[in-house]
């Protein structure tokens, strides 16, 4: 059975973007880049909420004209070719090999039929909804050495407790810390 894997970059103080929506602080060194590509090899379908989809669809199709970053240039063809799912009530259609679903229940049905894992990147709103529904099987959080002091939190407050099991932890590029947690039964 396929898993939903949530892969996210976070600040030490628990934010996934700064107070003004900034996402200019994650540092992709060679080890983190290799780890990221390993996740993409494992999960052949990318999963997005509407807001992250808008960012991705506005960047990756033409990244060669706006970036010379080695990670970006290597990832662009992977992104273009990969199957994608957008969970949204406002997106009617999307290009780039993308399926749009309206509800978490629809996504759960797709998860059951998927031939590989689904990789959710970023997206606090969708991650929160999928966590509440018990659909995220693994959390891969990369903590970057920065304090943002505010912004969008990794997880919303006031949610039910979820027991997790630590699967792995390691330092990447001598500056970021990866921790992988799996959902456990309570």
Is 158 within 8 Å of 139 (Cβ atoms)? no
Kindly list the strands in the beta sheet with 98-101, ordered across the sheet, starting from the edge strand earlier in the chain.
98-101, 83-87, 45-49, 118-121, 4-11, 138-144, 176-183, 164-172
Q: What is the model's pLDDT at position 186? A: 55
- In this prediction, residue 144 has a pLDDT band, given cuts at 50, 70 and 90, of very high
Interval 108-143: pLDDT, tens: 998 888 888 999 997 889 999 999 999 999 999 999
In CATH, which superfamily holds the domain spanning 4-183?
Dihydrofolate Reductase, subunit A (3.40.430.10)
DSSP 131: H
| The model's pTM | 0.92
DSSP 173: T
Interval 51-90: pLDDT, tens: 999 989 999 999 999 999 999 999 999 999 999 999 999 9
- In this prediction, residue 4 has a pLDDT band, given cuts at 50, 70 and 90, of very high
Q: What is the model's pLDDT at position 143? A: 98
pLDDT exceeds cutoff 90 at 168: yes
- In this prediction, residue 174 has a pLDDT band, given cuts at 50, 70 and 90, of very high
The rounded distance, in Å, linking the Cα atoms of 14 and 143 is 8
Q: What is the model's pLDDT at position 35? A: 98
Is 12 within 8 Å of 143 (Cβ atoms)? yes
Check residues 112 and 174 and name the one with the higher pLDDT.
174
Over residues 15-38, the mean pLDDT reads 95
Percent of all residues in the chain with a pLDDT value above 70, rounded to a whole number: 99
């Amino acid at each position: 059975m396929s898993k939903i894997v949530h892969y996210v970059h976070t600040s030490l103080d628990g934010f996934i973007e700064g107070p003004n929506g900034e996402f200019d602080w994650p540092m992709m060194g060679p080890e983190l880049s290799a780890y990221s590509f390993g996740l993409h090899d494992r999960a052949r379908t990318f999963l997005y909420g509407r807001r992250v989809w808008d960012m991705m669809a506005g960047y990756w199709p033409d990244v060669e004209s706006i970036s010379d970053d080695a990670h970006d240039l290597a990832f662009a063809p992977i992104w273009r070719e990969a199957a994608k799912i957008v969970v949204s009530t406002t997106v009617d259609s999307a290009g780039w090999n993308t399926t749009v679903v309206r509800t978490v229940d629809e996504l759960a049905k797709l998860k059951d039929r998927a031939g590989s894992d689904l990789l959710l990147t970023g997206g606090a709103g969708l991650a929160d909804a999928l966590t509440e529904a018990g659909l995220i099987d693994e959390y891969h959080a990369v903590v970057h050495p920065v304090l943002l002091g505010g912004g969008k939190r990794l997880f919303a407050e006031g949610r039910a407790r979820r027991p997790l099991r630590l699967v792995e932890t390691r330092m990447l590029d001598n500056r970021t810390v990866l921790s992988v947690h799996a959902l456990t039964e309570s």
